[in-house]
Copies of this chain bind each other. A is one copy, B any other.
Amino acid sequence: MSLEAVLSAVEARVTPDEAERARFEEVAGELRERTLSALSELDVEGDVVLVGSTARGTWLSGDRDIDMFVRLPPETDRSELVQYGLTIGHEVLPDGREEYAEHPYVKGTYEGFDVDLVPCYDVEDAEHIQSAVDRTPFHSTYLEENLDDELARDVRLAKRFLKGIGAYGSDLRTRGFSGYLTELLICEYDGFVPLVEAAAEWHPPVELDPEDHGRETFTDPLVVIDPTDPERNVAAVLSAENLARFQHYSRELLEDPREELFFPPEREPISAAELRAHVRQRRTTPVAVVFEAPDIVDDQLWPQLRRTLGGVIDGLDDHGFDVFRADTFVEETAGPADEQGRAVLFIELASPTVPAVSRHVGPPVSVRSHAEGFYEKYAERSGRDDGDQDRLYGPFLVEDRYMVERPREFTDASEYLRSEALLEVRTGAQIEDALEERTVLVGDEVDGLVESFGRDLAAYFDPRP
């Protein structure tokens, strides 16, 4: 299949049809009316703007998100702004619940659409924002001016492609391409095909500045200076891995165009038997630390989870255990965004045990005071003849230094993971408590994870770019 044919097929699947567009226009119009009416009831000066992909016609068929911003005068007190926002939100969205970005806002459903109703300040330009969300209307305006219908089609192709390869979304779980970043890239390269052709050849760091007004230096692998704010890199959240992923699949698309890249088949969850077969084949020892994730939104949870995983890996390493590979998963829940299920730190060890002694290098013998201090400290503990279970070997000499082989605190990784000592590792602030009530699974016990984490484990044991 040619690239053109693939893109046409994808286009057909992602372009909203007339009915979908009409339905959106109708609902968006109603919401605007309801919001304006709520605003006037409160007797507050302000206006309502529709932002996001639906506003610009770049949404993918089937997406049902409406982002409605209520702009209030910049001199409004922040607590008042929040209060107005919540009042209007609950008025417009009777089933709405409060969520939290930089400040609280109301999220709800209306006529089958997911609606965010967000209050912001009506500032002069994006450089003078008072709240992070104030920037959004400027983005919308910029894109409305720069995207024509043809580019809107290419934005949809790009978004679908990034979703297909798992690199779409600037949330802190994904650390991928935001919608705004995708749209800017399409503008900058003037279409989807030129963008993937360029990406296939990128040598990060890649720096783009559509308005040629950047003033700051960034260390991110992809830098796209916000056309509405010279001090902001729109791609700041994008991870090096997702950038590499985009480059990899851009080449795949050009070399072997196929619809599957845009719509990959969902992975089958792994079975317990498959999991065991992998472990047998790899001859590693899987361990899992399972705990109730704190009820915080993903953007708060995921950085903390990664930090905790890193802390536990370092802790294992400090105790001599060799971590082969590791990942962290969270159970999906049907509830609100801040309702979390169980979290897992899944760790593959090269070996479940380490020697009961570790080598500890002392000072050079020639540095007399240090050397004597070291020697005396350990010579005293040296369990030479007492058959002590926690025997220390040495001190002896290795080249010009003293060396001892000290008893280790833990020789089994599972012992360490279940011990109080684990709580000394660096963790996410809100994970520390959760970790106290953990379950540790070792070896075949990890079978128990397949029910809730079958897809995560399938991806773990069949890793792809």
A-to-B contact residues, CB < 8 Å: 200-204, 221, 239-241, 243-245, 247-248, 251, 277, 281-284, 322, 324-325, 348, 350-351, 353-357, 359, 364-368, 371-372, 375, 384, 387, 389, 391, 393-402, 405, 411, 461-465
Contacts and interface: CB of A to CB of B under 8 A. Distances in A.
Identical subunits present: 2
11 contacts: A243-B400, A244-B364, A248-B397, A251-B368, A281-B391, A283-B356, A351-B351, A351-B353, A394-B464, A396-B464, A402-B465
Given A201-B368, A325-B405, A394-B464, 12 more contacts: A204-B366, A239-B399, A240-B399, A244-B366, A244-B397, A244-B399, A245-B397, A248-B365, A277-B387, A281-B356, A283-B354, A324-B359
Given A241-B400, A244-B366, A251-B368, A463 B394 contact: yes
B243 A368 contact: no
B397 A355 contact: no
A451 to B, nearest CB: 23
B375 A248 contact: yes
Nearest to A350: B355
Contacts of A203: 366-367
Nearest to A283: B356
Contacts of A465: 365, 375, 395-397, 402
Q: Which 3 A-B pairs have the closest CB atoms?
A: A396-B463, A244-B365, A283-B356
A368 B199 CA distance: 11
B202 A241 contact: no
Nearest to A199: B366
Contacts of A284: 355, 357
Contacts of A322: 322
Nearest to A243: B400
A282 B357 contact: yes
A393 B348 CA distance: 14
Contacts of A201: 368
Contacts of A283: 353-357, 411
A162 to B, nearest CB: 15
A270 to B, nearest CB: 13
Nearest to A364: B244
